[in-house]
Every structure is written in C-alpha cells, then in structure tokens.
Structure 1
C-alpha cells in the first residue's frame, strides 16, 4: 500500500510547491483542478506528489466529485492545521534545513520520544511537515511497527471483523 498524494494549504502556493520540489529533487507544476493558484510538487522519482492549495479553500462534495471551494468566511483566524505529514527524502537533514531556511520557514531537528528524529519544517510558519533524511528514515522503519507500538504503549490490538 501507499499514500498516493497529500494536500496542504499555503499562502504562496507556487513558492511552497517549488521549495517542496527542491527538497524532493523534483519539479513543481500548476494543478488546474485545484483552482486558481493551486500547484503540486512532484518528487524526482515521481513517486510522491504534494498538492499545494490556496489557504482557505476547503474540499466540498459536488456533482461529479468533491473539489476545492473558497470559504466565505474563515472558521478561525489561526493559520495552524490539525494535520501534518512526514516525508522521507534522500537529502541529509542539514540540506533540508538550509532549503527551508532559504524559503524563510522555521526548521529544526527534533527527537520523537527516542523512537526516531525528524526535521520539523514549518511551511510558511503555519503547516508542519516532518522530514526524514536517510538516517532518520532507517530509525523510523526500525522503531515504527504495530508490534513495537503495542509493546511500548501497552495498547491492545483491535480485533478485525
């Protein structure tokens, strides 16, 4: 299984897509179905696609399928989000930080409870993307399994019906 793509909000969609593409050694292109100003960043191997949608546009059910529609009024003045994603890349953490800082985005290396490390990149100082370089990816893969999760946190596995 794999996640085919993710989307995130941005104020400067082109700059965000171009910076994400740079982190992934890829390419940024407009995404017309996302509406005016929507962009996507493709990884160099074309296995990852990140859609960058103008902040305030929300997915709405519509005839023929859901699409992005601008909200008449923002529900909150906060630019923060309930969600984030983690991205494994081929670049060293230092290069990721350099690229993020060149874009004006706060970034730092964080320890995730002794399980693994990530580079926290705050896209436009609003949306969290965790970036794992090759070393961090290996630690993530070694520590993040359902069995390990149950072992560490004492959670019971839900029965599947």
Structure 2
C-alpha cells in the first residue's frame, strides 16, 4: 500500500490546497522542506500528497535540493491513482475551475478513473467511491490472475 507520494509543482502551496480540496482534506506547510506543502486526506490509510517546488530533486542520503534543468520536460512517467470521497462531478468542477485538463477514462471495461492533469503537467487519477469499488474488485488477487492469464494468452 502506498501511503504518500510527492510531486513537483510551479505553485506548490496552491496545488496542495486544490489537491486537499479534491480529497476533502487539508493542506499544510511541509515542516522539513521550506516551500513545500502536504495535502492531507484524513483517510484511514494516512494518505498524503507532498508537493515540492518544481526543480526539486530527492537524492540518496536524505538530501533534498532545488536545481533548474531548463531543457527538462515538464512531464514525467509518474502518476498515482487515489481513492477519494469526492464525487465525479465535483472532481471535474474543481479541475476545470483550475484550468487543468480533466477527463473520465474507461480502462477497457475493467475500471474507470478520472484523469486530472495538475498544472497540465502531472497526472493524478482520482477514483470516487463507485470507481474505487470497481478498481478494488479488479485488483483482487484472483481477478488480477485472470487478467494476467487473459493478456498473456493473446
């Protein structure tokens, strides 16, 4: 189980506040990394989303540094799926208000997610309760084994 993730944003405080709203939680300053913030979800798993300033690098040995890579892409391969109690309509409304790309995506009938592109560069997938139930049913060990068997026999 993943309990927290970290992402980078151009406006870390603001992004943490919007993510907290999407999760019906609260944003606070990250006490150990100035300029960084945490969106607390207050769910039973202790889920948190840390938001660092764009250009932050985590390095071995616990070092956190801020460096600028002008040629680096603003997009990356990281994303996370997060269960929330917020409704599909609320998620769309909040993301649209922020000018962030948002869409509900069907994952080949297995489950659906709501893709929210934070600052139009970082993908987070949100699962309101009905979406989460279908995702959890899909991710049960027996269901995953059937899925693996199906795709490896193609």
Q: Same fold (TM over 0.5)?
A: yes
Alpha-carbon spacing, 1:60–1:134, altered in 2? closer, same or farther (3 Å): same
CA apart distance, 1:45: 4.0
The number of residue pairs the alignment matches comes to 150
Instruction: Tell me which residue corresponds to 1:101.
Output: 96
Instruction: Tell me which residue corresponds to 2:116.
Output: 121
Instruction: Tell me which residue corresponds to 1:159.
Output: none
CA apart distance, 1:78: 1.0
Moved more, 13-22 or 45-54: 45-54
CA apart distance, 1:143: 1.2
Contact 1:4 1:49 in 2 (8 A): yes
CA apart distance, 1:132: 0.3
Q: CA RMSD in A?
A: 1.8
Contact 1:115 1:144 in 2 (8 A): no
Residues in 2 aligned to 1:77 and 1:122: alpha-carbon distance in whole angstroms: 18
| TM-score using structure 2 length | 0.89
| TM-score using structure 1 length | 0.85
- Contiguous gaps of at least 5 residues in structure 2: none
CA apart distance, 1:147: 2.8
Contact 1:110 1:117 in 2 (8 A): yes
